[in-house]
Amino acid sequence: AADVYDPVRSAGSLHLRAAHVLEGNWTGTSTVPSRGLYPHQWSWDSAFIAIGLRHVSPLRAQTELETLLGAQWGDGRIPHIVFNPSVPLDAYFPSPDFWRSSTAGRAAGAPRTVQTSGIVQPPVHALAAWLVHQADPGLSRARSFLPRVYPRLAAWHRYLLHRRDLGGGGLASVVHPWEQGMDNSPCWDAPLGRITPAPPRTFRRADLDHGSAEDRPTDLDYGRYVRLATDYRDGGYADGAGAEAGAGAGRFAVEDPAFNALLIASEHALAAIARELGAAGTARHARAERLTAALVARLWDPAEGMFFCRDVYGGGEGESGAHGTERRSPSGDRTSEPCLQSGALEAERRSRAGDRAAEQRAQSDAREREQRSRSGAHGTERRSPSGALIPERSVAGLLPLILPALPRDIATTLVRTAGGPHFGLGGVARLVPSYDLTGHAFDPRRYWRGPAWFNTNWLLERGLRLHGEHGRAQELRSALLETADTSGFAEYVDPYTGEACGALGFSWTAALTLDLLH
């Protein structure tokens, strides 16, 4: 029948239409996620966009990442939004006058000329830089793309691994739901519940000028987002010990499996970049493997067959087992190092030195654990305030499947969980939902509380292939291409029907479509 989707016949035009979306959203130096709803540059969007753009214009893909990295702060953080000065202030909330980066962020080294937010987003950037390089190594070398981005990416990872290890277990914590990128995921309900919302009259939601209220986070969510961001800003965007004096210190910190898995995948990519630049890269691979072990130790729940978020300030004392309090991980590399150093080789040398120290700490941690287990204390550690797992099933808990060093049994279990009743891969769901299909908070249309998103499904497709699940990967790829096409490159879709929600002509949907077509 004429209306049956035929990927072979429509692949050519799908490619053109996806490229056209990216063309329309290009500003000259970067790509907006969508023209109406998101008129600035977003951090993890740009990484996904560059991954697709490399197939259309490797030069634009490099420029996309360079523009973002040009707004990096002195402490290494890459801001989640880089504001376009020609866009009116009321077009998006929170706007530059809310974040006040160049004044409030001065101590943390915010840029003086570019206006940015002060929080971060998932670190997909080193992975993107490596994939962009591979699309056209000749152009990349001619423009010294990797030597220029490597020190910045290394500083970014150092920021996350040192300043954001708030749980003390070697993983990075997010301090705001916007940082993890899945803004209103049910995973945040419990930790956000401890935050007093800012009064609704104190801000105006520009998002509701473009998106339907049923598809977006609620006003109550927004009140809490605003309160957390205001407090972080008023504390000078200081992290960890430096934040103790800040108004918002110690209230919201979550170790998220997707955020950390992307950091680890990017650490593997940094190793590949280091090798390309003439360094060994082995120390970075080793660190990525230790981080994978830390991720399993802190966030894997064998009984549920997936990863969960850890609410660092949540839970009570004396929790145990998988929902308990692992105090230190084998990867706890928390020495402070200067950021934004020049030269890839120097960065690699320092990283190796840091890794040796981490190695020694890992050995002493292992000895400590062994002693505890011999004395019968295993699983009932009471000394650490490092929180409790949050019992909500989010797609974030499947995304560690992108990790090459994931133990085989865990990868197999994750694939089984993805195909089970909660996520419906290859079964009831057309695309994998952002949240448990059977969960108490499931809503097929409301943003990150159920709808399927293209970036998370693209990551799952990659993970399935990595772990040899070629049949399932192929099925998911076809479903992604078909849904991107029929939904008009929607921002997100109903996971059962594929019906479009949010913005249309959404950049990462178009970009990842291009990547899947190659």
Whole-number minimum distance, CB 19 to ligand 9WN, in Å? 19
Residue 38 phi, psi dihedral angles, 5° rounding: -130, 80
Q: Does 130 bind ligand 9WN (CB under 6 A)?
A: no
Q: What is the DSSP letter of 196?
A: P
Q: Does 311 bind ligand 9WN (CB under 6 A)?
A: no
Please pick, among 64, 75, 183, 256, the residue that the annotation labels catalytic.
183
In the complex with ligand 9WN, which residue's Cβ is closer, 197 or 385? 197
Q: Does 150 bind ligand 9WN (CB under 6 A)?
A: no
Alpha helices (runs of H) in 308-382, residue ranges in sequence order: 344-374
Q: Does 307 bind ligand 9WN (CB under 6 A)?
A: no
In the complex with ligand 9WN, which residue's Cβ is closer, 265 or 406? 265
Tokens describing residue 194: 């401890």
Half-sphere CA count of 206, side-chain side, radius 13 A = 12
Instruction: Respond yes or no: is residue 491 known to be catalytic.
Output: yes
Whole-number minimum distance, CB 435 to ligand 9WN, in Å? 13
CA–CA distance, 345 with 325 (Å, rounded to integer): 37
For ligand 9WN, which residue has the nearest CB? 33
Q: Does 267 bind ligand 9WN (CB under 6 A)?
A: no
Q: Does 207 bind ligand 9WN (CB under 6 A)?
A: yes
Say if CB 293 and CB 407 are below 8 A apart: no
Among 99, 178, 252, 307, binds ligand 9WN (CB under 6 A): 178
Select from 13-21, 82-90, 176-184, 406-414 the region that touches ligand 9WN (CB under 6 A). 176-184
Select from 38-46, 155-163, 268-276, 478-486 the region that touches ligand 9WN (CB under 6 A). 38-46
**Beta pairing class for 310-311 and 81-82:** unpaired
How many chain residues are in contact with ligand 9WN, going by CB under 6 A? 10
* Secondary structure E strands in 174-229: none
Q: Does 221 bind ligand 9WN (CB under 6 A)?
A: no
Whole-number minimum distance, CB 337 to ligand 9WN, in Å? 29
Among 14, 22, 33, 422, binds ligand 9WN (CB under 6 A): 33
Among 26, 42, 83, 308, binds ligand 9WN (CB under 6 A): 42
Say if CB 312 and CB 166 are below 8 A apart: yes
Say if CB 27 and CB 45 are below 8 A apart: no
Among 181, 186, 332, 495, binds ligand 9WN (CB under 6 A): 181
Whole-number minimum distance, CB 477 to ligand 9WN, in Å? 22
Say if CB 29 and CB 506 are below 8 A apart: no
Q: Does 183 bind ligand 9WN (CB under 6 A)?
A: yes
In the complex with ligand 9WN, which residue's Cβ is closer, 225 or 300? 225
In the complex with ligand 9WN, which residue's Cβ is closer, 329 or 457? 457
Instruction: Respond yes or no: is residue 64 known to be catalytic.
Output: no
Q: Does 38 bind ligand 9WN (CB under 6 A)?
A: yes
Select from 40-48, 83-91, 190-198, 242-250 the region that touches ligand 9WN (CB under 6 A). 40-48
Whole-number minimum distance, CB 216 to ligand 9WN, in Å? 7
Measured CA to CA in angstroms, residue 82 lies from 73, 89, 132, 185 at distances of: 11, 13, 21, 24
- Chain mean position to CA 236: 23
Select from 11-19, 36-44, 131-139, 379-387 the region that touches ligand 9WN (CB under 6 A). 36-44
Whole-number minimum distance, CB 227 to ligand 9WN, in Å? 15
Q: Does 44 bind ligand 9WN (CB under 6 A)?
A: yes
Tokens describing residue 222: 């927004």
Whole-number minimum distance, CB 491 to ligand 9WN, in Å? 7
In the complex with ligand 9WN, which residue's Cβ is closer, 53 or 273? 53
Whole-number minimum distance, CB 82 to ligand 9WN, in Å? 12
Q: Does 45 bind ligand 9WN (CB under 6 A)?
A: yes
CA–CA distance, 333 with 294 (Å, rounded to integer): 11
CA–CA distance, 517 with 254 (Å, rounded to integer): 35
CA–CA distance, 14 with 6 (Å, rounded to integer): 11
Say if CB 173 and CB 312 are below 8 A apart: yes
CA–CA distance, 406 with 113 (Å, rounded to integer): 42
> Locate tokens 């961001």: which residue?
229
Select from 162-170, 177-185, 310-318, 415-423 the region that touches ligand 9WN (CB under 6 A). 177-185
Tokens describing residue 171: 């993983």
Interface positions, 413-442, toward ligand 9WN (CB under 6 A): none
Q: Which residues contact 138 (CB under 8 A, 6 or more apart)?
A: none
Select from 42-50, 357-365, 406-414, 428-436 the region that touches ligand 9WN (CB under 6 A). 42-50
* SS3 label, residue 350: helix
CA–CA distance, 156 with 419 (Å, rounded to integer): 35
Say if CB 482 and CB 472 are below 8 A apart: no
Whole-number minimum distance, CB 177 to ligand 9WN, in Å? 9
**Closest by CA position to 453, among listed 427, 487, 411:** 487
Where residue 3 falls (left for φ over 0; alpha for ψ -120 to 50; beta otherwise) is: alpha
Say if CB 106 and CB 118 are below 8 A apart: no
Whole-number minimum distance, CB 312 to ligand 9WN, in Å? 21
Please pick, among 75, 491, 494, 515, the residue that the annotation labels catalytic.
491
Tokens describing residue 481: 């291409």
Residues annotated catalytic, as ranges: 183, 491
Positions that interact with ligand 9WN (CB under 6 A): 33, 38, 42, 44-45, 80, 178, 181, 183, 207
